[in-house]
Structure formats: structure tokens, C-alpha cells
């Protein structure tokens, strides 16, 4: 499997200053746009999946031995026949997968929004191949999850509409459950409403979703997200002596939230919820959940990320992060570390470089929707990634020539070396920092009046439109091409270029990063840095060649 060249890894294991030198890990464990985590354990191995919405391949699968160091080992949906996302908005597509293991088989249940709905896919090896999705039309809702009971029965639960599809208030939803045939991959028996509204329907709780069931000490425990996946997000728990209920809400719900804390606290982690639980071999319980790291107020560009925190049992109920009000950036490690410095870093401060010298793209790269033709290559020129200039743009809902890396830090930079020549003003290639079709900045090399230039565009609020923010004529370009760089500093981005190896020229400084924040752009994704080439709706035979891509992130909280 292709690896990124790791040039520096600052922090994935830290040591506290207190006596005993307690070994700690760094949150988030998956930095950047890795939302809606679900986890399972098989022996001493842990597996985790996330939502990918309209990015492809869909549903990354991660493996770990210690819950801290994670390595991407494959994707559930990595064949075009499994997942066609053409035409889908960026925040549609794959919603909230859940991973489970039973009798030698891994199961992932998930929803394709604006597609065929809920499905289940299976594999005996979590790295793949995974089966084609088996659709579950009887399950009318989202966020499906399987529970394998110890009596041999299996159940499917999911978020659905209110009773009789008549909401009592905006955001009124239910959790429903049906028995599920593993052999036939379909719902059997009657559908039951096991949670109506949420933890206390008299308080009009909204958006109960992301349900999971597990069994402990003779009780069935149901955990679910509540409050919406923004600032008021939370996790709640219910329990019952019977699988079908009635389920009693924990009187001290929620068991996880940050919504009541001072919004002006230092280095806040917000919007926590959508959790899943795992028990270690030694009997300790931990939770993965999503959270956000704003740079100011409720503005964040890194999206919803995956965090890890301990779970303690109090009076027969589980509580996440029991010893603190605030979710912590550091906790004692759950399992003696098996540090893997050769794996792609996913947490803390780090620098990494991809020299495009492998046979396949690293598993961390994303496409915007499903590629339906071969427009990129690692073999056209050895040591280069080539992108064909094609008519689709990232303003539309097609699959553009666009390969992306998540923005994983509030502060840092990305840079690349580009070999690209054109005499046509519609042909452009470079780096884009992208949130959705109408919220991105594009730093590119192109042509004006038959002269080579470097340009910076801001997307328009109307799909397909853009505004030229800056342009600079390039007097001379060496044969090795031009280098481009985007620097992030919380609420700003700055854009640079150079035709020399060590001297950067500033094209435009302190461009508004809030424009790309979830608060302004909306949706469920985080920002990505894309290597991007387009002929802007025109036919072209030209190509752009990227020699390397360097990512550097250094957030202050990890120093």
C-alpha cells in the first residue's frame, strides 16, 4: 500500500509533567474531516469507519492496536458499481456508517442520501474487498446500525419519522427497530418505535439519531445523538431489560455535551456527540465521537473530527469523559502504545510529503464524487501525478479533475510543484481550498493575454461563478515549473507562489477563512486542499503535472 513520506511527526504520544510520566495520547485521534465515527473490536484489533458524504472512495476503514495510532487499510465503497455520486451535492451521499463483527464477518450499515437509502455491505477481511451494497428498502430513515444479540437474533435500528409521520415539533424524530435476517440481508418481522422524540419528549428534543445498542449486566443499552450535529449536539443513553423495550432514559442525560460551557474558553472543543462505544480486552470502556475545533466563536474549517475519551460506569449507567467538564486534548493512553511512525499521521502536529512515486495513490486522497473515466495517472511521468484538464469544474455536481487532502489543522500550509503550460485562458491548474460548490479559493497558473500568470479566484455564491481576487504576470518559469502554497492561520488564508526553490512571493494575504467555515458555507463536511485542473467547460487535451505535495500542520495547542 502506498505510504506518504513522513518527514516529521511532532506529537502523537505526549508525556505529562506530573510524577510518573504518564503516557498520553492526543485528540482528535483523526484530525480533519472524519465525522460520525463507529468502532468495533475483534480480539486485540480495533476497526473504525467514518462518513464521507459525496467524496469517493466512500467509508474509509481504519485499523489500530491501541485506539490511538490508526492506519487506513481500505474503503467499503471503492468501486464505481457500488457507489455513483455524480449529481450529488457535497454534503449528500454517504451518511453515518456503523461497523460491526459477527461470526467471522464484518458488517457496515449506512445510508446513501438522495440515492437508494439504507444498505448493508459485508467482508471477511476489513481491508476488503467489500460486497456490493444490499439495499434495505423497508428501513425508512437514516443512520442504520446492527445489533447481534446473544440468542442468535439480529436487529436493525435507525432514525426515522415521527409516529404516523406527524411531527409534534420541528426536529421530532424516532428511533425504530426491526428484526433483521443476516442470511437474507433483509428486515423481517414488524417495525417497532423504541424511542419517540428523545430523552424527554416533554422538552421537545430534536434530531435523535446515530443509534447503537449493546448489552451489559443484563441490560440493553441504547445510545444516540441528540440536539442536532452543531453547537447543541449531545449523546444520550437509555436502557431496558428487554430488546424491544420499554427503554428508560438516564435521569442525568446527556452523557456527553459541551453546549453548556463558556464559549470563550481557551482552545474549545464543541459540538460533541454521535458516539460509539468499545470495550478493551482488559474490560475498560472508551468512546469515539465527533467534535469540532473552532478558531473563533463557532467558526471552524476542519469539519467534524473523531475524538476518543474514557467511559466510566456510574450506578449502572455509562458516562463519557466523567472526570472533566471539557473534552480533553490529552488523556492517558488506554492500551500500551504500539507507535507506528511509518503510518500516515492523523493526530497532533506533523509534516508529510507525497512524492507520487508509488504505483497507487495513498488511501488518504479523496475524489470529489465517483470518477467515471481515467483522468489521472501516476505513470505518465514517473514521480509525477498527472491530471487531465477536463470540462467539469468543482462548482458543479460532476466529477472534476480534483484530488484532495483534508485540512487537518487550524494553522499550517500546503504546497506543491506544478509543471503546466497553456495558451488558453480557460485552462487552469493549481491548488484549491474547498468546502463546497460555492465556497472555495483557487490558486492557479493560467494565461492572460497570452502571458503566463498566477491567479487567485474566489467562488461566487451562484454555482459556476467566480471572482478574480489577484493576478500576477510570471516573467520567467524554470523547466521544473512553479510552486504554489496556501497558508492557513485560523480565520485567514494567505496565498503564495515561487519560480525559485526557496523564495516565496505573496500573491494575497489574509483572505477571509470564515467564508469556508461550516457556519457560513453550511453542510456537514470540512475543508480539503485539492490538486485541481480544469478547462472550464471546454474540451482540452492538456495535462497538468504535480511533482510533489507537502502538508504541514502546527496548531498551538499541541506545542
> Residue 171: how many CA atoms within 13 Å on its side-chain side?
16
Contact between 432 and 402 under an 8 Å Cβ cutoff? The reply is yes
Cα–Cα distance for residue pair 5/182, rounded to 1 Å: 42
Residue corresponding to grid cell 515561487: 498
- The 3-state secondary structure of 267-306 reads CCCEEEEEEEEEECCCCCEEEEEEEECCCECCECCCCCEE
Cα–Cα distance for residue pair 73/314, rounded to 1 Å: 36
> Residue 139: how many CA atoms within 13 Å on its side-chain side?
33
| Beta bridge pairs of residue 288 | 276, 308
Decide: helix, strand or coil at residue 102. strand
Q: How many helices (H) and strands (E) does the chain have?
A: 1, 41
| DSSP-assigned letters across all residues of 210-229 | EEEEEEETTEEEEEEEES-S
Write down the catalytic residue from 209, 235, 305, 419: 209
Decide: helix, strand or coil at residue 515. helix
Backbone angles phi, psi at 225, to 5 degrees: -80, 150
- Is 209 tagged catalytic? yes
List the grid coordinates of 371. Answer: 470518477
- Is 165 tagged catalytic? no
Instruction: State the sign of the Cα–Cα–Cα–Cα dihedral 434, 263, 323, 276.
Output: negative
Contact between 437 and 397 under an 8 Å Cβ cutoff? The reply is yes
Cβ atoms within 10 A of the Cβ of 512, count?
A: 13
Cα–Cα distance for residue pair 133/102, rounded to 1 Å: 18
Identify the CA nearest to 271 among candidates 254, 253, 292. 292
Decide: helix, strand or coil at residue 262. coil
Write down the catalytic residue from 36, 143, 276, 419: 36
Beta strands 350-354; 543-553: pairing state? antiparallel
Name 360's Cβ contacts closer than 8 Å, sequence gap at least 6: 1, 2, 378
Helix (H) / strand (E) element for 519: namely helix 518-521
Distance of CA 279 to the CA centre of its chain: 23
Cβ atoms within 10 A of the Cβ of 57, count?
A: 23
Contact between 397 and 89 under an 8 Å Cβ cutoff? The reply is yes
User: Residues with catalytic annotation?
Assistant: 36, 209
Amino acid at each position: 500500500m502506498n505510504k506518504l513520506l513522513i518527514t516529521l511527526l511532532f506529537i502523537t504520544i505526549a508525556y505529562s509533567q506530573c510524577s510518573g510520566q504518564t503516557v498520553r495520547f492526543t485528540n482528535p485521534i483523526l484530525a480533519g474531516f472524519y465525522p460520525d465515527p463507529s468502532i468495533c473490536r475483534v480480539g486485540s484489533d480495533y476497526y473504525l469507519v467514518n462518513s464521507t458524504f459525496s467524496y469517493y472512495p466512500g467509508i474509509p476503514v481504519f485499523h489500530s492496536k491501541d485506539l490511538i495510532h490508526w492506519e487506513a487499510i481500505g474503503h467499503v465503497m471503492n468501486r464505481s458499481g457500488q457507489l455513483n455520486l455524480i449529481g450529488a451535492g457535497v454534503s449528500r451521499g454517504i451518511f453515518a456508517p456503523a461497523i460491526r463483527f459477527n461470526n467471522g464477518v464484518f458488517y457496515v450499515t449506512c445510508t446513501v442520501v438522495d440515492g437508494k437509502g439504507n444498505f448493508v455491505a459485508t467482508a471477511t477481511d476489513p481491508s476488503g474487498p467489500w460486497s456490493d451494497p444490499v439495499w434495505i428498502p423497508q428501513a425508512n430513515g437514516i443512520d442504520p446500525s446492527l445489533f447481534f444479540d446473544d440468542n442468535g437474533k439480529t436487529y436493525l435500528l435507525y432514525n426515522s419519522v415521527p409516529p404516523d409521520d406527524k411531527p409534534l415539533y420541528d426536529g421530532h424524530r424516532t428511533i425504530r427497530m426491526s428484526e433483521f435476517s443476516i442470511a437474507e440481508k433483509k428486515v423481517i418481522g414488524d417495525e417497532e418505535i423504541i424511542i419517540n422524540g428523545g430523552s424527554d419528549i416533554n422538552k421537545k428534543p430534536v434530531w435523535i439519531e446515530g443509534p447503537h445498542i449493546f448489552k451489559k449486566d443484563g441490560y440493553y443499552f441504547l445510545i444516540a445523538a441528540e440536539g442536532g450535529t452543531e453547537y447543541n449536539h449531545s449523546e444520550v443513553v437509555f436502557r431496558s431489560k428487554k430488546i424491544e423495550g420499554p427503554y428508560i432514559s438516564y435521569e442525568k442525560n446527556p452523557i456527553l455535551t459541551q453546549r453548556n460551557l463558556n464559549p470563550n474558553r481557551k482552545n474549545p472543543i464543541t459540538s460533541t456527540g454521535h458516539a460509539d462505544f468499545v470495550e478493551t480486552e482488559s474490560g475498560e470502556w472508551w468512546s469515539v465521537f465527533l467534535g469540532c475545533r473552532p478558531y473563533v466563536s463557532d467558526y471552524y474549517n476542519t469539519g467534524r473530527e473523531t475524538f476518543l475519551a474514557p467511559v466510566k460506569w456510574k450506578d449502572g449507567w455509562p458516562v463519557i469523559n466523567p472526570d472533566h467538564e471539557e473534552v480533553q486534548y490529552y488523556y492517558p493512553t488506554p492500551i500500551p502504545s504500539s507507535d507506528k511512525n511509518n503510518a500516515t499521521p492523523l493526530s497532533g502536529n506533523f509534516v508529510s510529503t507525497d512524492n507520487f512515486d508509488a504505483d497507487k495513490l495513498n488511501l488518504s486522497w479523496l475524489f470529489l464524487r465517483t470518477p467515471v473515466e481515467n483522468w489521472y495517472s501516476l505513470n505518465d511521468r514517473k514521480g509525477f501525478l498527472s491530471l487531465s484538464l477536463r470540462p467539469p469544474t468543482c462548482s458543479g455536481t460532476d466529477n472534476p479533475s480534483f484530488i484532495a487532502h483534508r485540512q487537518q489543522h487550524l494553522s499550517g500550509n500546503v504546497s506543491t510543484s506544478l509543471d503546466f503550460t497553456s495558451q488558453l485562458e480557460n485552462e487552469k491548474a493549481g491548488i484549491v481550498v474547498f468546502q463546497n460548490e460555492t465556497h472555495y479559493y483557487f490558486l492557479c497558473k493560467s494565461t492572460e493575454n497570452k502571458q503566463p500568470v498566477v491567479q487567485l479566484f474566489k467562488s461566487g455564491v451562484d454555482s459556476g461563478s467566480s471572482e478574480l481576487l489577484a493576478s500576477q504576470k510570471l516573467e520567467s518559469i524554470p523547466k521544473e515549473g512553479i510552486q504554489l502554497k496556501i497558508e492557513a492561520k485560523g480565520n485567514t488564508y494567505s496565498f503564495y507562489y515561487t519560480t525559485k526553490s526557496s523564495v516565496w512571493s505573496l500573491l494575497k494575504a489574509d483572505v477571509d477563512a470564515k467564508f469556508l467555515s461550516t457556519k457560513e458555507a453550511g453542510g456537514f463536511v470540512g475543508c480539503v486542499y485539492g490538486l485541481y485542473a480544469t478547462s472550464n467547460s471546454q474540451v482540452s487535451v492538456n495535462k497538468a503535472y504535480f511533482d510533489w505535495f507537502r502538508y504541514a500542520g502546527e496548531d498551538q495547542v499541541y506545542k
